[in-house]
Structure 1
């Protein structure tokens, strides 16, 4: 059985001294977190850019030395790059270094090539004209087909409209072969009875009441 709800054996009691019976006074206990901390100012050490070290340093001279070192490192890699570039350029001959004989042998400029180019251009023009003519023919055929379909649709709509007009008028639809013969006789309502039927119903009711007979 749990003892969490039981009172303590030594409950809090006020002292008997002066001021100890007043439980509303502040407690004399305090936490270690309430103690004063960082009571001394921290100064820069020897390797932390202390004022004495910074005062004696020449920042301009250090910057110039770093720039010269970077320039030397950059110039050290430049000859290798120039050698590589020069070798690649030397492999590819320049245009002015090619002899004239080679130019004449490799790239002959004659009238035959000009004629071939003109013939190819003319053939391309002819092909383009043929394609354009075929395209116009296809467009014309499509337009004619569209017009024919629209005309057929209009004729079908007119035929359906006329059939609806003829079948909607009962005077014109009496002699139709497929329509049944119309009957214009007024039908009798289910609640409409004549006097004789009312008299018969009354006689049957009286006989049933008086003699318990059902006629």
Structure 2
């Protein structure tokens, strides 16, 4: 016997759950519990401050331009700003050397004077040597640059000549094809082609020849033009249906009128 119809005798009451198991979803759990900082090589603030972004951008642009020029067959561009940096470093090095020499002169005047003279001579000699070296380097660079420019001009000239030759050949072929089309396209000038005849090689097609018409491939068919019927009498319009050509043919085909005015129906 079911007791579903009876009210709850003892109503359910909430109870404290002590030591029960609980179930959590993975997405509800805490995943990142520690604060992470940028490591070395991960573009931290200090590294970004030390970097010269303008120089990096200029280097990247120069590299992209050199790639395009290499694909076009041109020599790469020179690095701008590198010689100036080298000159500034050399000047700074010379100033430091001179300051060290002055300090030594202040410590010992006698020995310093002789040393200064010797060093002055040596410095002048070194300066002369460095100047001569720099001049020779500049001359070598100028020679290499001039050689590269001459090679570049030669390549440009060869490409221009090749392009002009190709254009001349193309224009000549276009003119020849146009003349051939004009000579053979007009049926009044090319009678053989207009009549469907085979033109032999070396024969002038503009000269009038035979007017024999070439037969078609379907001229010898058995059932050709079977539907064409020649009419002996011209068709006339008659307003009376009993005197039309169709009525006359129908009466002659299916009904014959005898002399005794008797109709005979033919099967």
TM over 0.5: no
TM-score (norm 2): 0.33
TM-score (norm 1): 0.39
Rg bigger for which structure?
Answer: 1
Q: Which has the higher contact order (CA 8 A, sep 6+)?
A: 2
